[in-house]
Chain A
């Protein structure tokens, strides 16, 4: 039971108070949005009844955009402006993109994150992803004919900090309130576990269009505990298509010379791959500028030319079992997620390794979005009696650079989040007054082999002999898996801290501005909507404060109490008028004015809950 619930435990909030919260699976190949309706999670269809939205955005010369099926249909005609698989570019620099030369669209080097060159200008992967997310947001708003309270967005478990931060920024740019980022295999486990009332240790093998994750979870009484996670954030169905395309070219003795050639060839390779999941033998036919390709190929040939990719996934599976300190026979079931697990070779290989048939009773395309929707519903407070709890881990170790380009590990991989860990460092020169900190993520010992996340400086250290300063560096990882780093010199108290954000130049203000520009609806509409939103928010804040005062008013001194009372009357008065900005400001003032009180109540609530537990069980 949550402690500060507005309604009584066990009672669902009144339907008008119900917050619309969705789960979004932002995939490499396609994306979905799902929500809990009438107690059941379901994927929301578009006007044509399709739940899948191809993750494809086409930029038009007049500034317009096509998104989804419309864009996909134009891919072979306008490959340079039609961006597919943008997820593989999230949080990446040009140097990180190994397949750049094989993409039908042009990439441009830019600080922090690569950009895509289109007829409508250079676009960051964050902006392209935001178009997809906004499309899903509109779909959900149309479905419920209401505004969204928030969304849970899924990311591959193996995404590093830069990729996670980029995903969160994209959601913000799409005007979504991000309730949580959760890992795709964990989301799948929720949908699967709740559906099957499973208990015990499960592996989730998630091979999507562009990413591969393997997670080992322990399921017990609504708790989804991730024991270890591993994978490859640049390995997926796309790579199978590419391997097959290259094989076809080599067999036919042809080359793909133009972006159109590449787009056609990739589309044909993908179609052949998909057909081979049902058939033993298929024909690949495609017109290239160097000649006509017409080949028949069988499943064995396909499996042989992609065997290295399948082997890579299995080596990650073995590694994650070692990390979890588990043997194959301790795993009670293997859940298959992601469209690429439809390939018979994957089902067979995974089945043979675990010595049991993989579980495929949920649609591998939908299961991640469904799990995210269940979590979103609970996070929004719509399910007060719900006992779902996710205990996830960070996928990659975090550390800082020390002398000689070596990494000092501060948080080891597979640590349960949220977590905070600290390590002491010292100065190495007499009189040194500043210390440069370089934050990296990865498992290798050399900084050069890890991903650089951020650099910052602690300045103003009082001059001391070398080795006398004690600098404590604290890494805090929140429930979204995002990192914050702080440094403090212990004797002088000098501090520096940084929220680790990829430096691709999107500040919060810029995001707000872009939000207005790219997604502005009619002005009047916006104003009316803003006023309704402001009033709803004000009402919520007032109700929450009233019930908080009734329950724990005794925590406050008289002066504190009257300050809060003053802010409440001010908000009530403003709410009656038509100025959305003024209402927002008054709500914000009340929120700020009750922050300390909220913190005290939380502490009391948690202490009581924990004490209650101790009495029950000791």
Chain B
């Protein structure tokens, strides 16, 4: 039986693996919230509210982690005893860092939306390839240490994708 201590996959009744169907995760989330949301117990006093809130918070936490492929991959590594420790371990292959620098330069030089679109496509493709590699390592080879390296690379890419997003916003606000 699930408890507040169950892991995200157990709580959502999902197979503990990287490959997931987003539509199933979304549907499970709503099913679970239907049972546990504090609104279901609004007429039943403070103690009931507190317990419902704990469950509801826990379900939302699991949902945030499960629905995001990057966070899901990191979580699987952690469940298998290989934490990502992104802050402590920033060593990346030189080749990857070179590419990051090239991208940063391209972003600084991007003058228009078309240039941003081109860069954005490249980043999206690279992200997709890394996620596929993650799936092979996690669900196929069960090489969690290997997957951690991919997760760290994905985190760099994620941050860069945010910066692209900010650039789009800047351009848009300048256009008025």
Contacts and interface: CB of A to CB of B under 8 A. Distances in A.
B42 A180 contact: yes
Interface stretch (A74-82, A235-243, A560-568, A602-610): A602-610
A225 B30 contact: yes
A602 B48 contact: yes
A318 B172 contact: yes
A599 B165 CA distance: 44
Contacts of A319: 169
B35 A609 contact: yes
Given A2-B41, A613-B31, A617-B28, A595 B47 contact: yes
A315 interface: yes
A4 B47 contact: no
Contacts of B168: 322
A3 interface: yes
A322 B164 CA distance: 13
B99 interface: no
B51 A603 contact: yes
A511 interface: no
Interface of B: prevailing SS:
helix
Interface residues of A, number: 51
Interface in A517-560: 544
Contact of A478 (B48, B53, B64): B53
A479 B37 contact: yes
Interface in B36-59: 36-48, 50-53, 55-57
B140 interface: no
Most buried by B among A220, A379, A390, A610: A610
A476 interface: yes
Contacts of A397: none
Interface in B13-35: 13, 28, 30-35
A179 interface: yes
A303 to B, nearest CB: 17
A606 B57 contact: no
Interface residues of B, number: 43
B63 A610 contact: no
A389 B48 contact: no
B61 interface: yes
Contact of B1 (A4, A180, A611, A618): A611
A223 interface: yes
Nearest to B11: A610
A198 interface: no
A306 interface: no
A393 B11 CA distance: 22
Contact of A606 (B35, B42, B45): B35
A598 B45 contact: yes
B31 A378 contact: no
A380 interface: yes
B40 A3 contact: yes
A101 to B, nearest CB: 28
A610 B36 contact: yes
A295 interface: no
A614 B2 contact: yes
B3 interface: yes
Interface string B151-176: 00000000000000100110011001
B169 A418 contact: no
B60 interface: yes
A315 B173 contact: yes
Contacts of A390: 39
Interface string A158-183: 00000000000000000000011000
A257 B135 CA distance: 71
Contacts of B42: 179-180, 379-381
B38 A479 contact: yes
A614 B41 CA distance: 22
Interface string A459-487: 00000000000000000101100000000
A589 interface: no
Contacts of A220: 30
Contacts of B30: 220, 223, 225, 389, 391
B43 A380 contact: yes
A617 B37 contact: no
Given A180-B39, A391-B33, A599 B50 contact: yes
A416 interface: yes
A347 interface: no
Given A4-B44, A4-B48, A591-B45, A614 B57 contact: no
A599 B47 contact: yes
A377 to B, nearest CB: 11
A420 interface: yes
Nearest to A382: B43
28 contacts: A2-B40, A2-B44, A3-B41, A19-B43, A180-B42, A220-B30, A319-B169, A381-B42, A389-B30, A389-B34, A391-B33, A478-B38, A479-B37, A479-B38, A479-B56, A594-B47, A598-B44, A599-B51, A603-B51, A606-B36, A609-B35, A610-B35, A611-B1, A611-B2, A613-B31, A614-B2, A617-B28, A618-B13
Closest 7 CB pairs of A and B: A602-B51, A379-B42, A381-B43, A614-B13, A609-B35, A598-B47, A595-B47
Interface of B: 1-4, 11, 13, 28, 30-48, 50-53, 55-57, 60-61, 63-64, 165, 168-169, 172-173, 176
